[in-house]
Structure 1
Amino acid sequence: MVRRKIIRIVFTALMGQVLLIAQEKDSEINIEESAEVFLEEYSDDFEEAFFEALKQKGIENYDRAINLFLECKRLDDKNIVIDHELAKAYFLNKNYNLARDYGVAALISEPENSWYLNTLVEALEKQGSSIEDLDMGIFSDNLKLQQNLALIYYKKEKYEDALAVLKNLKKTTFLDDLTSKINDSIEKRNKISQKTTFSATVNNTSESTSSLNGYKGRIQSLIRTNNHMILKQVAADAAENFPSQPYFYYAQGYAFNKTGKHRDAIEVLEASLDYLVGDISLANKIYSELGEAYNGINNSVKANMYLRKVKPGF
């Protein structure tokens, strides 16, 4: 009974996250009741496997989590929630092909679920692809799915992709409002880009711009002025030209954190540690950003691990 109560609480939280995203704001949803009904339909074996899978995923033991979710799938092969959990677990385990396959299965079952759509979009991005490349009949026929996709692209700052989706939709208040927001964001981005380019042209010779010190100067200026979108581009270019310089990875991770892309931040910040030698001040900055990134994905264990590495006085 204790285990059943615990898993009901866990699943209620999971169900709430999915339903809050998938439903309209004015929908009346009893999340606890939904979780209760869901759990009552399944055996103790299913609950045990599901609970343990969530636990293993939470401690980043993704192989074990996947095996347990597959056991849940064996016990109920039509469970959409498990398809989505498998998509997320495979994504975290960097198996993007299977993340895509299970993401497609979940989305086909519930095309208007924006949470399912977002997971699939992220898996496809890792493969250099997009949902438009998939042969899915639900895409062109479902207005809500296309609206959700446009919103996802907008939040990811992929403004041109969002506009490409919107141009195929009928004129509505939603279309007008989102198009206006996107155009405003593009205008701001272009102004920042032009200002940064002009500043670089005036203050730097062509030699210094492409040099290590030139990059550092531009990055420091962008951090001071909070130009996070341009900072990501400049830092990525600097890291490509000077791959053994941890500062450039730090700057890129900093920009990712400031724009809410915490998983991308973790990837580049942890890569910077491979090149970090003797610079305690920079190490403190990297550890602090890693702490922020892991807190951003609700992994307090990893966040505290890195924050404890920060040395005071530097």
Structure 2
Amino acid sequence: MKKSILLFFFFGMFFPVLLLAQTEPNDIALANDEFQDSFYESLLQKGIENYDKAITALEKCQKLQPNNATIFFEFGKNYLAQKQYVKAYSSFEKATQIDPKNKWFWVGMYDVCYETKDFSQAIIIVTKLIEFKKEYKEDLVSLYMNTQQFDKALNLINELNETVGKSEMRDNYKLQILRESKYQNSEKDNLIAQIKKFPKEESNYIALIYLYSESNQEEKALEIAKKLETEIPTSSWAQVSLFKFHLNNNDGANAVKAMNIVLESKNIDQKIKHRILNEFLIFINNKPQFDTDLEKAIAYFDTDTAVKVALEIGKFYHNKKDWDKAIKYYEKHLNTNSEDFATQILLFEVYTQKMQFDILAKKAEDLIEIFPLQPQFYYFAGLANNQLQKFKKASSLLEMGLDYLVNDKALQINFYIQLGEAYSGLGDVVKKESYFSKAEKILKEKN
């Protein structure tokens, strides 16, 4: 009795029984019971993934109610589960023909298109689904992308950005589309229109500045940057473009102001900040009046773990053979990264270039006390003591360092040369010639 009541409620709600005229009451009851039992059986078999049996039960239902849309919908679900895509699509389609106002019948057709990657047909179905639910426009964007209808995708992205707000997915799609220059002009027009409509929306200015810069329209990029600065005086993004403009005009003072605003901003990506610092570094080469500004700029990156800014600036000046500044920034970096052996070696190379052998000797010997297994420190300590004519100390340090040297032929050659120099200073000709010969032998083997 409970089963009959439940089934009556279920089918009475969703599956109206279609009867022929002049049918006897007893016949009606029997047909209705048979339909309900068969339908219940189909649901049961589908639930345990016996799709063939579910379909057999549905065929009995169809004979009793040949125009019941829900039966075709159930056929579609079972065929889809079996990956019989043609039959599944045909069944869902038949359901929509009987009852075109039921959203789920259309969803069934969409599911088949999605499974078979028939994106062109899916566009037709989703266009219909949008009538039921506007959110399907998001699906339509993806379908346009998959079918490379980028112009339609871009128009729909812009529509959705304005009506429902931006999304990460649509932003990524838009970036992909705008890599092709032929779509950039329409996007520029769209952004100009958006700026007129929403003059306080910063992201539209930023996107337009980027597009103008990418297409080498620097004057227009500057114009938009100035407009952004006027409309939103607190915008740090405006200063990104203005910074470059000031550099191009050799206006260091205003470039510094713009740079500081950008570096202070929490809204600007670190990569952009690094780029600005690099551009400023190149600009101030041979302009010592900006040294203090550079120091302040570097301080913004003290907590940056991704890029060691002081180290990179040290390397910059190292390559330019500006030894004093290279030392300054290497030492600044080492103040907080004392175990960075590679930078210690770079610093020692600069001390050597500066012929500051007293400083080099002390620092190298101090590091030997802390890190006694690092052969490079023994080498520089020996080199410095040789130059200071402390030959006995040099030879002792160099011979100790050799014990820690492993598979580094270039450094081994340098050790032997310095040992030759040390014993030359000590007047030991035999050892001098021995070490110079060892250096020469390894050099020949390398070549």
TM-score under structure 2 length normalisation: 0.28
**TM-score, scaled relative to structure 1:** 0.38
Which is bigger in relative contact order (C-alpha 8 A, separation at least 6)? 1
